[in-house]
Amino acid sequence: MTDRKRCGAGALRFLRRACPRRCRIKPSASQLTKRTPNVNGRERDGRPPSVDEEGEEELPPVQAVLTELRDGDALDEFVACMTCAEGRGITEADLAPWATFGGAGDLARQAAAHDTTMTF
């Protein structure tokens, strides 16, 4: 399916939803190929901005960003409040297993291992 057909089908569905009388308005050829400005002011034809121009730098994967933030200790206070964790006797070794729940058995194990208060 070409971009033109995909764009036209989406525009037609939008027009049908927008019209209270359910008109069967078909978009013109110029509407199907209309270029829209993206957030940087450049025009694009429905493609994501990362593939707009050759050589444009793409965003790094989420895992790479998280790894970089963790390496710089930028997430310590946000992922787990270290002050609260230390006050409850939760060490860094406890954080990953303590924060993951695989079922009811994990909840009981974690409650027995830590001073835990749960409110629902």
Model pTM above 0.75:
no
One DSSP character per residue, the chain reads --HHHHHHHHHHHHHHHH-TT---PPPPHHHHT--EE-TTS-EESSS-GGGSSTTPPPPPPHHHHHHHHHHTT-SHHHHS-HHHHHHTT--HHHHHHHH---SHHHHHHHHHHS------
Give the per-residue pLDDT at 106: 64
Fill in the amino acid letter for 108: A
Number of domains the chain contains:
2
**Res. 68 pLDDT band, cuts 50 70 90:** confident
**Res. 7 pLDDT band, cuts 50 70 90:** very low
Give the per-residue pLDDT at 115: 65
* Domain with 12 in it: 1-35
Judge if 108 and 66 occupy the same domain: yes
Distance between CA atoms of 23 and 20, rounded to whole angstroms? 8
Q: Above 50 in pLDDT, residue 67?
A: yes
pLDDT tens-digit series, residues 12-38: 444 444 444 444 545 555 555 555 555
Judge if 30 and 66 occupy the same domain: no
Give the per-residue pLDDT at 1: 43
Judge if 31 and 67 occupy the same domain: no
Fill in the amino acid letter for 37: P
